[in-house]
């Protein structure tokens, strides 16, 4: 259920226009500071509007970026880890765990199944 909220709309705008989710140093406090609201309030409005946590949303967005990169020949010579790092993950373990959470497969399994 979407509840009109200018702060939530600004959060979505930062994702769409600035692709803030690709920043490996991104966290709730950083975004809240950019929006000039408290981290607690930002967390609440994200949860009310999406039913998800900040980390879950950012992880899903990063996984979607990885899928796009895997379909792009420009990234053919990149390792899976390099692609994960390009998408904003800052560790292999978090990258693999998050990817599997959102796709139910490892990055390798996904690449073998969907990337030609």
Number of domains in the chain: 2
* Residue at a domain's end among 15, 33, 57: 57
| pLDDT (tens digit per residue) in 79-111 | 999 999 999 999 999 999 999 999 999 999 999
Residue 102 makes CB contacts below 8 A (sequence gap 6+) with 59, 60, 63
| pLDDT (tens digit per residue) in 11-55 | 999 999 999 999 999 999 999 999 999 999 999 999 999 999 999
> Would the pTM count as exceeding 0.75?
yes
| Domain that residue 52 falls in | 6-57
**Which candidate, 58, 6, 69, places its Cα nearest to that of 29?**
58
From residue 77, give the alpha-carbon distance in Å to each of 46, 72, 82: 36, 11, 10
Q: Work out the end-to-end distance of the chain between its first and last CA atoms, rounded to an integer number of angstroms.
A: 38
Q: Tell whether 77 is covered by a domain.
A: yes
3-state secondary structure of 72: coil
Q: Tell whether 22 is covered by a domain.
A: yes
Q: Tell whether 1 is covered by a domain.
A: no
């Amino acid at each position: 259920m979407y509840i009109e909220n200018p702060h939530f709309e600004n959060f979505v705008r930062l994702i769409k226009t600035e692709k803030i989710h690709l920043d490996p140093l991104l966290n709730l406090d950083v975004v809240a500071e950019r929006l000039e609201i408290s981290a607690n309030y930002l967390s609440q409005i994200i949860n009310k509007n999406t039913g998800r946590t900040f980390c879950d949303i950012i992880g899903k967005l990063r996984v979607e970026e990885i899928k796009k990169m895997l379909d792009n020949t420009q990234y053919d010579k990149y390792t899976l880890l390099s692609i994960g790092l390009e998408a904003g993950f800052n560790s292999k373990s978090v990258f693999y765990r998050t990817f599997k959470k959102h796709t139910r497969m490892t990055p390798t399994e996904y690449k073998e199944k969907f990337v030609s």
